[in-house]
Amino acid sequence: SAVISQKPSRDICQRGTSLTIQCQVDSQVTMMFWYRQQPGQSLTLIATANQGSEATYESGFVIDKFPISRPNLTFSTLTVSNMSPEDSSIYLCSAVSTLSYEQYFGPGTRLTVT
C-alpha cells in the first residue's frame, strides 16, 4: 500500500490569507487527487493533480481559488487562496497505486479560517 503524508496537519488562518498544503507519496502512483470534507459530510473531489500540467478541476472549483501543482509523480501541493470561513474544512490528498489501482488517502489537513 502507498503511504501518504500531508503537511501541515492543521492550521488556523485569517481570512484573506492563503495556505499551501503539501502531499508526499512514498511509492509509485498514477493519479493524485485533492478532496475536501466538511464535518459529517461525504468527500468532495476538488481536482485531479496532473504531473507537469494544469490540474483538472471539478465543477464549482477553479484554479484561481485552488491552484494545484504536481511537479513529479509523488508530490503535489494544493493552495487555498484568499481564504474565507467557508473554506474551513478537512483537505485530503489521495493517490492511486500503480500496482494495485487502489486509492489511498493522506491523514488530511484540518483548516480553520477565522
Partner 1 sequence: RKEVEQDPGPFNVPEGATVAFNCTYSNSASQSFFWYRQDCRKEPKLLMSVYSSGNEDGRFTAQLNRASQYISLLIRDSKLSDSATYLCVVRSSNYQLIWGAGTKLIIKP
Closer CB to partner 1, 66 or 108, in the complex: 108
Taking the complex as a whole, how short is the minimal distance between the CB of residue 16 and partner 1, in angstroms? 27
Closer CB to partner 1, 106 or 113, in the complex: 106
Q: For the purposes of burial, counting CB atoms within 10 Å of the CB of 21, is it exposed (0-12), middle (13-18) or buried (19 or more)?
A: buried
Residue 86 parent element (H or E): none
Taking the complex as a whole, how short is the minimal distance between the CB of residue 87 and partner 1, in angstroms? 18
Residue with cell 471539478: 58
How far is the C-alpha of 60 from the C-alpha of 108, rounded, in Å? Answer: 21
User: Given the rule CB under 8 A, which residues bind partner 1?
Assistant: 1, 31, 33, 42-43, 45, 92, 96, 101-108
